[in-house]
Amino acid sequence: MEMFSLSGKVALITGASSGIGKAVASRFQAAGANVINADRLPPDSEPEHFVQTDVSLETELRAALEFARNKYGRLDILVNNAGIQPLGVPFNELTESILKRTFEVNVNGVAFGLKLAAEMLENEGRVINTASFVGLLGIPSGTAYATSKAAVIHLTKCGAIELASRGITVNAVAPGTIETPAVTEIPDNPEIPFVSSRTPLGRLGSPEEVAAAFHFLASTEASYISGATIPVDGGIAAGWEKYDLTAPAEISPEGVWHDPES
């Protein structure tokens, strides 16, 4: 049997007209899956089936899942990926509108996805949510977004528990800063040099590098992983990039540890 094959599987990916979702769609198709793209905006080209969907509206997301099931007779994989990224907004600029839309799309969209997956996914199915490294770390000027992604990580845990009775696994991928239109189309985006210089691997990630983790989590090989959030971030969430310290007296200049006298 071919490893990591998705042959015969049907996958619905939200937000697959661009960026990470688009790369996940290509990768799933290359692995043999039939893919449906549920995005608010149409894709440039249309290699997969497109259903115009605003994930913040349960009725529209339900219609997209029903389309997939009517077309292929089953739905195995749901990728809750669509999201908006209102970064660069400190508390004094935070508005009801920013908070409302961020949570409607990034949180309600994933919660509705889990609700519908519980109802419509095949047994042993897969749900994979797109979180973010800023859902794991506190950052300045990103409260609405970072908090919404922390909620995605917790939704992943709650979903893993509740959907386990049908053998469905629920996991999340937490990307670092990735070269997608959401990042690269911001003129002179200061995030790019800032994050590159602070990422242990020294660069941004590509959508394809993130898609590889989605592919693994979607595969049969990942059957015992559930409730997990996997960072794909060049190591940026591993810890502080700088930490000024001096070694204690117990360590000699030769690097030998001397326990203090008792």
Judged by beta carbon, residue 55 or residue 230, the one nearer ligand NAD is 55
CA atoms of 219 and 171, how far apart (whole Å): 12
CA atoms of 149 and 170, how far apart (whole Å): 15
Judged by beta carbon, residue 34 or residue 199, the one nearer ligand NAD is 199
The helix/strand/coil state of 165 is helix
- Work out the end-to-end distance of the chain between its first and last CA atoms, rounded to an integer number of angstroms: 61
CA atoms of 204 and 181, how far apart (whole Å): 13
- Contact between 36 and 67 under an 8 Å Cβ cutoff? The reply is yes
Judged by beta carbon, residue 23 or residue 160, the one nearer ligand NAD is 23
- Contact between 21 and 210 under an 8 Å Cβ cutoff? The reply is no
Judged by beta carbon, residue 175 or residue 234, the one nearer ligand NAD is 175
Place of tokens 């669509």: 82
Q: How far is the CB of 100 from ligand NAD (least distance, A)?
A: 12
- Contact between 224 and 160 under an 8 Å Cβ cutoff? The reply is no
Q: How far is the CB of 94 from ligand NAD (least distance, A)?
A: 18
Catalytic, 145? Answer yes
Query: What residues line the site for ligand NAD (CB under 6 A)?
Result: 14-15, 17-21, 39-41, 53-56, 81-85, 105, 130, 132, 175, 177-178, 180-183
Q: How far is the CB of 222 from ligand NAD (least distance, A)?
A: 20
Q: How far is the CB of 218 from ligand NAD (least distance, A)?
A: 16
Task: Give the residue numbers marked as catalytic.
Answer: 145
